[in-house]
Amino acid sequence: MDLELFDSWEPISKARKPIGLENWKRLSHMAEQLKGKKATDLTFTSCYPGHEGKKKLLGSIEGNLHFLMGYASPAFHMAPYHWCVVDPNLSEEDALILHKTKGHPSRPELWKRCELDMKDEGDLIDGAPHPSVGEVRETVKVARAKKAESITVTSGVGSYTAIPSEGLVYGNHNKQVYAWEMVKNSFFAAANPELTEKMNEYQNAQLDMEEELSRSIEIPMPVRHRAYEFVDTGFDDEVYPLVKSHYPVPSSVVPVEAATGETVYGVITNNSVDFYDREGTPANVNVYDMSFASFDLTQDGGTFASVVKSFGDKFIPEGLEEFVHVEEAANE
């Protein structure tokens, strides 16, 4: 690997001169650390303002700056030796300790905000991405989907963006948020027929789907009583973000086929999914060959994020296709 790439390695540059031989001996361990590695193993995507989506190299002045400030992609697979590339004065032992205590320096909130694609990069063999990479990808996916469906219009002195799937209209000029139910019969709606048509079309489709599901899915009365406790409670702040974006609201019921072939019912609460049989008795479902009577949906709970996501992907496709609100079913 060409050492000229690492313009932050000033001691190594000096070590090439006779007076710097002691420095070279002190830093010679880097030759072993980088043996067999390529520039791609040290390259990450940055979301630094003005550099969004640009590739940076660890060991360069700019690359180190962006990396240590948290602008590196969460999908960058980081290994302990990467710390030595940032600071070649570190020993392997120091790098291992730093890797364990500091962890991946990427700041996921920056990537959620910039909504960039994240491809796996870095050392895919010896490294690992940020633990939150899956959550960030899901958040970005949802945000980009909403942006793709959004409709922006200029009305009066302001600019407004409507998102049909949310049923909301955002005032870009005044930072206000308006529920479509409140403005659909207003002059604003009449003056913007294309926006009104798309908002009403999505809203009507959702109502039709929920009504059809309410008729087609029989929820046993004991399960309805369990679910009714959580009507209008909303999700706790501590639940995984993908739960808020992908799961139906608390008090919803998700029919699930158990390992025995029988149907059990997942009741969505404000911080969990609790499973019951037709009699309202706690029941178990299997995910990844593990048995669960309940999923804790909070980030610090006892259920792995992969299990929470797997359940959503398998039984709640697109977020709203396999559930029924208990308050609707209770009125049958």
Q: What is the pLDDT of residues 228-273, one digit of tens each?
A: 888 888 899 899 888 887 888 898 888 887 767 788 899 999 999 9
Q: Is the pTM of this model over 0.75?
A: no
What residues of the chain score a pLDDT lower than 50? 12-13, 15-21, 24, 216, 318-332
Dihedral over Cα of 126, 128, 129, 135: its sign: positive
Q: What is the pLDDT of residue 130?
A: 95
* Residue 260, number of CB atoms within 10 A of its CB: 11
Q: What confidence score (pLDDT) does residue 19 get? A: 46
- Average pLDDT of the chain is 82
3 state DSSP class of 327: helix
Identify whether the C-beta of residue 244 lies closer than 8 Å to the C-beta of residue 236.
Answer: no
Q: How far apart are CA 75 and CA 296, in angstroms?
A: 26
Q: At what angle do helices 133-149 and 305-315 cross, to 10 degrees?
A: 40
Q: Which pLDDT score, from 0 to 100, does residue 278 have?
A: 87
Distances 320 to 227, 255, 313 between C-alpha atoms, Å: 17, 13, 11
- DSSP letter for 167, please: T
The domain ranges of the chain are 3-140, 150-216, 221-329
User: For residue 202, what is the enclosing H or E element?
Assistant: helix 193-216
d(CA 87, CA 94): 11
Q: Tokens representing 329?
A: 């079913």
pLDDT tens digits for range 42-81: 999 999 999 999 999 998 999 999 999 999 999 999 999 9
pLDDT of amino acid 96: 93
Residues whose CB falls within 8 Å of the CB of residue 98, separated by 6 or more in sequence, listed in order: 80, 83, 90
Note the pLDDT of residue 310.
79
Rounded CA gap, 187 and 190, in Å? 5
Q: How many CA atoms lie within 13 A of 319 on its CB side?
A: 13
**Residue 243: how many CA atoms within 13 Å on its side-chain side?**
27
